[in-house]
Amino acid sequence: MQTERCSTQSELMHTTTAAPSAQPKKKLSRMRRSDIFWGYLCVAPLTIGLLLFLAAPLCYACYLSLTTYDLFNPPVFVKFDNFIRAFSENETQFWPSVGNAFVMCIGVLLSMAISLVLANLLSGKKKGTNVFRMIYFLPTICSSVAVGIMWKRIYDYQYGFLNQIIGLFGFEKVNWLDSAHAVPSLIFLNVIFGMGTNILLYIATIKNIPRSYYEAAELDGAGGLQKFFYITLPSVSPVSFYILTMGVIGCLQGFAIYQVMTGGSPSNTMMPVMLIYNYAGGNYGAFYGYSSTLAILLGIIIAIVTALNFGLSKKWVYYES
C-alpha cells in the first residue's frame, strides 16, 4: 500500500510540474494583429522622417567633422584635427559667438517677465482683453525674415522710423545697429517677437489655477502682490521652465533675424549658426568638415545647457503632484 501511495504521489507531482510546459502558446487574435499592424503603420511616417531627416544627417555630420570636405572632392579623413583647431588660438570667432548668443538670452528673461505681467492683467474678463491678446500675438505669426526686414527699416540711420520720431524732439540720429547699440536693439526685438506665444501660454496656465487658492489667501488678508508671488508665480513655474528652455535653445540656434539685420557685423552680433553657415559655403568658402565640427560642438553646448536647466529646475519649478 505504501509503495502504491508513493507511486501515485510521484505521478501527481510529475503531472503538476509538467502541466505548465505542456500548455500551448496563445495565438494573437485577428483583431489584435490588425491593431498592431495599423499601429506600426501610423507611426511609420514619423519614424521614417526622423531617420531620414534627423538621425541620418546627424550621423553624416559626425563623419564629416572628422574630415576635410569642400563638396567637390572626396572627404579626406583627418581624425580630430578639426576639433583641435576649434579649441586652438586660431579660432577667434566661434567661442565669442557663443558668448553673444548667451547675451541675447537676456531677451528671453525680459520677455518672460513682461509676458507674465501682461498675462496676469489680460487673464480677467474685462472688455478689450481679446483685442490686446491679438495685438501681442501678431508678431509671432510673421516670419523671422519679414520681421527682420521690417525692423531693419525701422532702425535705419538715415530714413528709419525711429530716428524720424526722435528727430521731432530735437535729438540726434542714432545708428541703432552699430557696435554700441546693436545688442540692445536685437534684445528688444527678441522681447517683442517672443511675447505673443508667452502671453498665451501664461494666460492659459493662470486660468487653470483654482480660484479657491486666491479665495483662501484673501481670507488670510493677502494682497495683490502676495497672491501674485505666492500663488501665481509658483503655479506658472512649469510653463516658465518650458519658455526658458526653449528660449535659450532658440537663442543658441538663432540665425534668420540676425542674418537679415546685421549679417554678423558688428562682431558682437555674430551668432554660432551664422558662423557655421559662413564656413559651409558662405563668406568663408566651402569648409563642410570644419563647419560640421562647429555644429557638433554647438549641439553639445545646447545639450549641456539644457541638462543644467533641468537640474536647476528642481529648486524653482513646482508641480501640483
Domain boundaries, the chain: 98-272
pLDDT score, position 18: 46
Q: What pLDDT does residue 175 have? A: 93
Average pLDDT, the chain: 88
Q: What is the pLDDT of residue 95?
A: 95
Categorize the per-residue pLDDT at 249 as very low, low, confident or very high, splitting at 50, 70 and 90.
very high
Give per-residue pLDDT as tens, 200-233: 999 999 999 999 999 999 998 988 889 999 999 9
The answer to whether residue 150 scores a pLDDT higher than 80 is yes
Q: Residue 27: how many CA atoms within 13 Å on its side-chain side?
A: 2
Q: What is the structure's pLDDT at 46? A: 93
pLDDT (0 to 100) of residue 23: 57
Task: Return the pLDDT at 139.
Answer: 82
Amino acid at 35: D
pLDDT band at 24 (very low <50, low <70, confident <90, very high): low
CATH no., domain 98-272:
1.10.3720.10
pLDDT, tens digit, for every residue of 169-200?
A: 989 999 999 999 999 999 999 998 889 899 99
**Sequence-ordered list of residues with C-beta below 8 angstroms from that of 188, at least 6 positions apart, any chain:** 107
Q: Which of 2-11, 105-114, 206-215, 271-280 has the lowest mean pLDDT?
A: 2-11
* Nearest partner of 230 among 243, 213, 215, judged by Cα: 213
Q: List, in sequence order, every residue forming a beta bridge with 280; answer none if it has no partner.
A: 286
* C-alpha–C-alpha distance, residues 242 and 204, integer Å: 14
Predicted confidence band of residue 129 (pLDDT cuts 50, 70, 90): confident
* Side-chain half-sphere CA neighbours of 140 within 13 A: 14
**Cα three-residue angle 29-34-38, rounded to 5 degrees:** 155
Across 295-312, average pLDDT:
96
Element (H, E) at 122: helix 106-122
Mean pLDDT of 124-140: 82
Give the pLDDT mean for 80-87.
Answer: 94
User: For residue 269, what is the DSSP state?
Assistant: G
C-beta of residue 160 within 8 angstroms of C-beta of residue 176: yes
For residue 12, is pLDDT > 50? no
Its pTM stands at 0.84
- Strand pairing partners for 76? 68
pLDDT score at 140: 84
